[in-house]
């Protein structure tokens, strides 16, 4: 088998270590050294990635959120309440770092359920089940307090009386997924309460598209595509007898978002849309594009293979992934405003894209050879934002709809923002799944994805049928 000469490898090693060349040593130049094999100075890891590395990152994040999301009811003196049938007035859920009933945590629960399935680590699922069961157990007691005193804990108010899709959508979807996996979970009352708001309480345009009167009348937020559509779709699985109704409704609403908000020439979505406005604000906010691509993946996961809208939605996913891939930065991240490279690099959106691209590869919707390296580079970027203590840094805080670029450019980014944790766990879980089907390997210094494991140790090789590879001389 052909190999690259040892002298060349030695020369490359010298250069990569920063060793100076003396007069007594062979001069390193284009004649003596394969300079294309010199190691670049990447800002994030590049090339090698193992399941063990990804799992270690997920575990760090999990340890952090487990420590900072307690499951207790406290009375006004700070004492734990254990009899949930008689919760004293003024009692609250214990306040950790994150709200266990928020939409951000609805995403986190879904991510952890998936991570548990992929890795076999029961701790992730147990975390979800414990918190969802806890919310179901305390809800009647807090509801009783509200009926008597017209006030209750702020977190429970959001659960018992949702006022926006943010309050209901992701949590409803997480609970339905948990119950689909384990029908014995006592979550039906909370699910029905959430879904009643999604179906009938949230304001909609005459064609059924979710909308708000903020910041303008009849404003459509791309965020609401994710906050509403996946719950409609998974309702079709949760309530099998009504599956056709909800599958069709989810696909219809999704198409209406796409028609208004996808910008074909860029392959990206605008963040907001004001019905009836002749000139629309068009800012391609990264996390909103994440919610859109995640919605498309969730919808394709839920819809039957023969659903009439499936071909359109599949092609739409491909168009969006192509658009996003064109804007990935040299460091693997995507920018806060996707198409503006002078806006900051943002973690939560990058993690969502990694999950969705890897998921699309795993499902066979897009080519792994083309997009596997995109997903892996994105994961390497995300992994650099996981601190030693498990905090996820570089995540944009909650963001409304803006009509000027400065609004998006200067949104704070912080590890306290809850939006990053679920996407990072979900991305890691899907990368583990991806590594179970594909074999990433550098060849001629570039990262490539192979269906057959390449075992030739040469840094430059041709493919062979037996998977061994043939080194290039």
The mean pLDDT values, 10 residues at a time, for the chain of 473 residues are: 41 45 65 80 94 98 98 98 96 97 98 98 98 98 95 95 98 98 98 98 98 97 98 98 98 98 98 97 98 98 98 98 98 98 98 99 98 98 98 98 98 97 98 97 95 92 88 85
- The span from the CA of 473 to the CA of 461, in Å, is 9
Q: What is the per-residue pLDDT for 257?
A: 98
Bridge partner list, 221:
272
Is 373 in contact with 358 (CB distance < 8 Å)?
A: no
Report pLDDT for 251. Answer: 98
Q: Which residues, 6 or more positions from 316, have their beta carbon under 8 angstroms from its beta carbon?
A: 258, 262, 296
Query: Are the CB atoms for 276 and 218 separated by under 8 Å?
Result: yes
Structure tokens belonging to residue 353: 């894209």
Contacts of 18 (CB under 8 A, 6+ apart): none
Distance CA 88, CA 84 (A): 9
Rounded-to-integer distance, Cα 467 and Cα 453, Å:
6
3-state secondary structure of 172: helix
Other Cβ atoms closer than 10 A to 307: 19
Q: For residue 250, is the peptide bond before it cis, meaning its omega torsion is within 30 degrees of 0?
A: no
Q: Which residues contact 5 (CB under 8 A, 6 or more apart)?
A: none
Instruction: Give me the pLDDT at residue 180, please.
Output: 98
Q: How far apart are CA 282 and CA 255, in angstroms?
A: 19
Fold assignment, 43-437:
Glycosyltransferase (1.50.10)
DSSP lists the bridge partners of residue 446 as 443
Q: Return the closest-CA partner of residue 3 out of 468, 472, 459.
A: 472
* C-alpha to C-alpha distances, 432 to 313, 355, 361, 368, nearest whole angstrom: 26, 10, 12, 14
Tokens of residue 124, six digits = 């992730």
Which pLDDT belongs to residue 272? 98
The per-residue pLDDT for 388 is 97
Q: Report pLDDT for 11.
A: 42
Is residue 318 a contact partner of residue 366, using CB atoms and an 8 Å limit? yes
Tell me the two tokens of residue 95.
């306040």
Cα 43 to its chain centre, rounded Å, is: 22
User: How many angstroms separate the Cα of 96 from the Cα of each of 126, 369, 423, 446, 451?
Assistant: 18, 43, 20, 44, 44
Q: What is the pLDDT of residue 25?
A: 62
Q: What is the pLDDT of residue 15?
A: 44
Pairing of strands 268-269, 345-346: unpaired
């Amino acid at each position: 088998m052909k190999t690259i000469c040892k002298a060349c490898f030695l020369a490359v090693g010298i250069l990569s270590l920063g060793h100076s060349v003396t007069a007594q040593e062979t001069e390193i130049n284009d004649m003596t050294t394969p300079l294309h094999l010199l190691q670049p100075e990447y800002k994030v890891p590049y090339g090698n990635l193992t399941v063990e590395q990804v799992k270690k990152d997920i575990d760090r994040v999990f340890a952090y959120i487990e420590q900072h999301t307690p499951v207790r009811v406290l009375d006004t003196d700070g004492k734990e309440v254990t009899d949930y049938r008689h919760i004293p007035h003024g009692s609250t859920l214990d306040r950790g770092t994150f709200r266990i009933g928020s939409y951000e945590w609805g995403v986190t629960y879904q991510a952890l359920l998936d991570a548990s399935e992929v890795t076999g680590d029961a701790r992730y699922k147990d975390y979800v089940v414990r918190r969802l069961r806890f919310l179901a157990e305390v809800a009647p007691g807090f509801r009783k307090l509200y009926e008597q005193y017209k006030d209750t804990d702020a977190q429970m108010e959001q659960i018992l009386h949702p006022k926006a899709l943010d309050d209901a959508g992701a949590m409803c979807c997480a609970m339905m997924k948990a119950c689909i996996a384990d029908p014995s979970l006592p979550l039906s009352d909370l699910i029905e309460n959430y879904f009643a708001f999604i179906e009938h309480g949230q304001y909609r345009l005459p064609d059924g598209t979710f909308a708000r009167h903020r910041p303008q009348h009849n404003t459509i937020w791309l965020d609401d595509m994710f906050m509403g559509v996946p719950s409609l779709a998974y309702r079709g699985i949760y309530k099998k007898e009504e599956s056709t109704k909800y599958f069709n409704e989810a696909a219809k609403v999704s198409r209406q978002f796409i028609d208004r908000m996808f910008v074909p020439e860029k392959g990206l979505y605008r963040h907001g849309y004001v019905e009836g406005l002749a000139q629309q604000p068009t800012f391609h906010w990264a996390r909103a594009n994440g919610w859109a691509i995640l919605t498309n993946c969730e919808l394709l996961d839920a819809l039957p293979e023969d659903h009439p809208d499936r071909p359109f939605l599949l092609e739409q996913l491909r168009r969006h992934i192509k658009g996003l891939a064109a804007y990935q930065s040299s460091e693997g991240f995507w920018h806060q405003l996707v198409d503006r490279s002078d806006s900051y690099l943002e973690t939560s959106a990058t993690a969502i894209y990694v999950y969705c691209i890897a998921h699309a590869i795993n499902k066979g919707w897009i080519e792994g050879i083309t997009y596997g390296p995109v997903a892996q580079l994105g994961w390497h970027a995300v992994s650099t934002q996981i601190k030693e203590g498990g905090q996820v840094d570089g995540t944009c805080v909650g963001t409304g709809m803006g009509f000027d670029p400065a609004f998006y450019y200067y949104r704070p980014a912080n590890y306290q923002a809850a939006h990053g944790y679920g996407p990072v766990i979900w991305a890691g879980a899907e990368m583990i799944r991806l590594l179970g089907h594909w074999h990433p390997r550098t060849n001629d210094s570039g990262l490539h994805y192979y269906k057959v494991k390449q075992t030739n140790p040469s840094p430059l090789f041709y493919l062979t049928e037996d998977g061994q590879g043939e080194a290039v001389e």
